[in-house]
Structure 1
């Protein structure tokens, strides 16, 4: 029994007849929608003994899965040599054991407008030099823009100057006690970004649609984007190419998708055999690549990749840093994004913003914000928070009443907004508009600015407004 997403499920189901003939075991593949929806179901079903034998997941889930005993260690044997090494590193946890069979990778690539810039720049300073000249000629508005959450989407800038998330111990395992977001290299990187904003070479906003549109309309010559953006960039008609490396040979963050095995299954060995004998083959891995629009984790498939953009992204991700897969990473996202946003918008100096972000992460890791009930959302930077979607912002922290309900009255700005409920100052536990873990965003429309009282019921995980 396999849990998969809607793209991979048909491919796996096509293996059923051969598996039945070889092992006399029926293969049942269940389509759970999108990959991100599988995690919540695994956390609920596997401990109850109702989970699948195999499920699709992402490597940075390992912290929650391994610590909860929901993923089995795997041995690929000789097949390990068939995989890109960094993908196996990503699915290797701090105990040195492998917990997933990777099939696809994703990382940012460095896009450049080939009409404006015939050859890609080799340094970040050259990015600005080229743009200064183009801007002086009236051909562009900015040099580059950050297209989404700034922590992830500007990481190649951060890594180029020596910034990092977590250091490593002597054994090479991630060390949550060494947080690099307040390091000298990180401060230098964020200062570089802020200086670019002040000079008018980078916009303050990190809005995904706004900044992708700048590239698609020729208003910026450079953009960092992932394979998920290829469809819209191609449809825009902008002349572009993806460089084989980032300026200063900087490293992006690496995400890896793969197959994991339920350790409580009665078929652990059979599940591993299915993955090594039926999935880890040239034919199946090639089909997974062709339907997934992501670079393959399988060496032979990556070598024959014909899509120039995916091939270039694979090359630029050769030195990629796997997204940290330890539980403490859940405490990083909100503070990291907020710190960079606060710095590049000039609300605080880079030193102060990143020091505050680091302290917030430390507090989250030790549980200092345990018990916080928050309403992170798109409105927060208009309501007293340094940035939007910050689950640890004290300005949107709800207060528990005598009736057991949590309330807060917020002066909401006019417009259409989205929000969720987040607990303990992080995204590890959050509830959506259906009361479900990791559920969809709430929406609220304000014809005019005014106070709104939000009421959270911890019994139903739902929010109502007054």
Structure 2
């Protein structure tokens, strides 16, 4: 598998860690000259990769193999994951950024708008990855990264208190009440901001995605789909759950985790980050699909992590080779999964992980049917009003449909 970038990406001004001349790479030599040029490019220069502590160790081994095979040294520079995006945006234009960096797919709107990333043509290799992983890293019709993991929430179940998975939300609450625990169901919320991320699968089950989609499946920022009738139905449901005490804004993420771990509820809507603590507390945990509250599937957001290329890299061919033919292999994708505990993006490693670990399998199966977190910049205008309005509706601070309609109008105005 070999990745080729578009001619426009290859012609960008270079400033990275050394390698082939971008002008030469974008020329159209003969087959023989092209082969020689590619060989020269892959046998010289160096690469710099930014990675967080969890990924750096695995990548160091990959770098060793890559240098042995190609003669190109790869420097792994450890960075705080939370700072990578902003540092990348600020440093790449100055010539100080890396060739490759680890990141999350929902950074793409910012990265592309700032002109700091180059598209990657995966070619036939795209078929080797889970579809949602490729979709997540596709922005405005182009793929901008090599994905390696998929992360999403699902329903944790205490099997002692609830031996079977519920078919829908109503049945889950009935099972929770029959268990005789303090809470039938737990999800961490916030008194002022609710938690649109965790409640999103219930919203989608009412046919109210945050944005509509274009013909190619990408998000359409001109269509705030959750402002439609499905969103109003969801708002009415939120008010009902708030009045019944099923959704409790005074139970934050920490209290929800603590309560589930001490056996105070049979069900907990959360991510893989809370599984280990539950197991250490002696809970026999199962991971189930999220039960729908409406008449459509409950689809959570999926976050897909991967590696993207700098638009200013001088060694684009080598960087592409490093990503697609090394990081994109089953051996490396599995090693990254074993380090991070998230379902792999590569299908071969994904299937292997699902067969070995029931917890990963549960989250992976839910994630395969999830929807990518919107990467478009307009998403930044959504969260605040969305969360505040949800909280007001749950608290009963007005007519739920009117509050939802005002939220939709305010978000649409902010986007415009």
Higher RCO (C-alpha 8 Å, min separation 6):
2
Give the CA RMSD over aligned residues: 1.6
Alpha-carbon distance in structure 1 between the residues aligned to 2:264 and 2:311: 51
Relative to structure 1, the CA distance from residue 167 to residue 286 in structure 2 (aligned partners, 3 Å threshold; closer, same or farther) is same
Q: Is the 8 A contact 1:155 1:253 kept in 2?
A: yes
Q: Is the 8 A contact 1:166 1:175 kept in 2?
A: yes
Q: More helix by proportion, 1 or 2?
A: 2
1:140 to 181, 187, 200: 181
Name the count of aligned residue pairs: 360
CA deviation after TM superposition for structure 1 residue 206, in Å? 4.9
CA deviation after TM superposition for structure 1 residue 163, in Å? 1.7
What is the TM-score when the length of structure 1 is the normalising length? 0.74
Q: Is the 8 A contact 2:98 2:313 kept in 1?
A: yes
Q: Is the 8 A contact 2:204 2:297 kept in 1?
A: no
Of residues 183-192 and 57-66 in structure 1, the stretch that sits farther from structure 2 once superposed is 183-192
Q: Where does the alignment leave 5 or more consecutive residues of structure 1 unmatched?
A: 367-466
Alignment-derived partner of residue 413 in structure 1: none
CA deviation after TM superposition for structure 1 residue 245, in Å? 5.4
Alignment-derived partner of residue 16 in structure 1: 63
Alpha-carbon distance in structure 1 between the residues aligned to 2:410 and 2:311: 35
Alignment-derived partner of residue 58 in structure 1: 104
Offset from partner CA, 1:100-148 (integer Å, 9 cap, x none): 11000100011112122111111112122223434xxxx2223223224
Relative to structure 1, the CA distance from residue 110 to residue 289 in structure 2 (aligned partners, 3 Å threshold; closer, same or farther) is same
Residue 53 (structure 2) pairs with residue 6 (structure 1):
yes
Q: Is the 8 A contact 2:91 2:97 kept in 1?
A: yes
Residue 305 (structure 2) pairs with residue 257 (structure 1):
yes
Question: Equivalences for 1:347-366 in 2 at 5 Å?
Answer: 347-366=397-416
Q: More strand by proportion, 1 or 2?
A: 1
Question: Equivalences for 1:372-391 in 2 at 5 Å?
Answer: none
Alignment-derived partner of residue 197 in structure 1: 242
Structure 1 consecutive aligned stretches of length 4 or more whose deviation exceeds 4 Å: none
Alpha-carbon distance in structure 2 between the residues aligned to 1:67 and 1:201: 41
Offset from partner CA, 1:324-369 (integer Å, 9 cap, x none): 0101011111111111111111112221222222222223223xxx
Question: Equivalences for 1:38-49 in 2 at 5 Å?
Answer: 38-49=84-95
Offset from partner CA, 1:265-319 (integer Å, 9 cap, x none): 1111211111011111111111000001111111111111122111101101221
SS at structure 2 position matched to 1:161: coil
1:295 to 334, 337, 343: 343
Alpha-carbon distance in structure 1 between the residues aligned to 2:84 and 2:400: 37
CA deviation after TM superposition for structure 1 residue 173, in Å? 2.7
Relative to structure 1, the CA distance from residue 163 to residue 206 in structure 2 (aligned partners, 3 Å threshold; closer, same or farther) is farther
SS at structure 1 position matched to 2:149: strand
Of residues 67-76 and 82-91 in structure 1, the stretch that sits farther from structure 2 once superposed is 67-76
SS at structure 1 position matched to 2:54: coil
Alpha-carbon distance in structure 1 between the residues aligned to 2:266 and 2:399: 28
Q: Is the 8 A contact 1:182 1:351 kept in 2?
A: no
Alpha-carbon distance in structure 2 between the residues aligned to 1:121 and 1:86: 25
Q: Is the 8 A contact 2:344 2:350 kept in 1?
A: yes
